[in-house]
Amino acid sequence: MKLSYFHVAADVPEKIKADVAIVIDVLRATTTIAWALNNGAEAVQAFADLNQLSIDASNWPESKRILLGERGGKRIDGFDLGNSPLGVKPEIVQGKRLFMSTTNGTRSLDRVKDTENLYTLALPNRKAVAERLIADNPREVLILGSGWEGSYSLEDSLAAGGLAHYLQSQNIKDLKISNDELFAAISLWNSWENDLEGCLRIASHGQRLAGIGNHDDDFVCCAALDTLTIVPKQVQSGVLCAS
């Protein structure tokens, strides 16, 4: 199993062909996706383009849809929810489809949407995703962070390092870390694995969230490690379901 990590969508080489792509947006899209599916959402449909989201959502029964949108860390006006894992409560999302667009995470999902097997990763479902990889033993795995508006993010690299570290601990035959970005992410994990919330809070996006309001509960939720068994998987372009 060959693992590579890229910080943002623009870093992914055009020629790369992976069997599996894993998208990470710790603060907060992939954490929100995992919790929404865990809490009974029918699916999460991700959009990089808000106009396309509006078109697709309008063709879905109003009683069965939720609009979830965020720009700059804040809920988009007119949307039902912002991008918080605390907002996707069972009584709100049960049996419904979430039409979702965020500043960063949905762009990364769009970049690798043509990959045969596409999953999303957050710290709460790190082990679940790792165990799926171990069971399937793909040849090449592309791990993709979301960053912030095209630039590096500390927290996504932390989660990428955490995934690789777990896989290394399982003594998988022929496991290969194939680029420096992932070696650096593993080092970051080794430095912060005993204070994940602390790492999220010092990250530039963590500081950005803290600056626009009280997000203490979001930090706690996003930093919780291996608490979910959900593996969000793309079942058709842009549509993620529990698996």
> What's the predicted TM-score (pTM) here?
0.96
Identify which of 67, 132, 141, 118 has the alpha carbon closest to the alpha carbon of residue 236. 118
Asked if 32 and 224 touch (Cβ cutoff 8 Å), the reply is no
In tens, the pLDDT along 88-123 reads 999 999 999 999 999 889 889 999 999 999 999 999
Element (H, E) at 65: strand 65-71
In tens, the pLDDT along 37-64 reads 999 999 999 999 999 999 999 999 999 9
Q: Identify the DSSP state of 20.
A: E
- The CATH code of the domain at 2-242 is 3.90.1560.10
At residue 208, does pLDDT exceed 90?
yes
On average, the pLDDT of the chain sits at 96
CA pair distance 206, 201, nearest whole angstrom: 5
Q: Where are the domains of the chain?
A: 2-242
Q: What is the pLDDT of residue 43?
A: 98
Q: Confidence class of residue 149 from pLDDT cuts 50, 70 and 90?
A: confident
Helical spans, DSSP H, in the chain: 29-38, 50-58, 90-93, 105-111, 126-136, 154-169, 180-192, 196-202, 204-212, 216-223
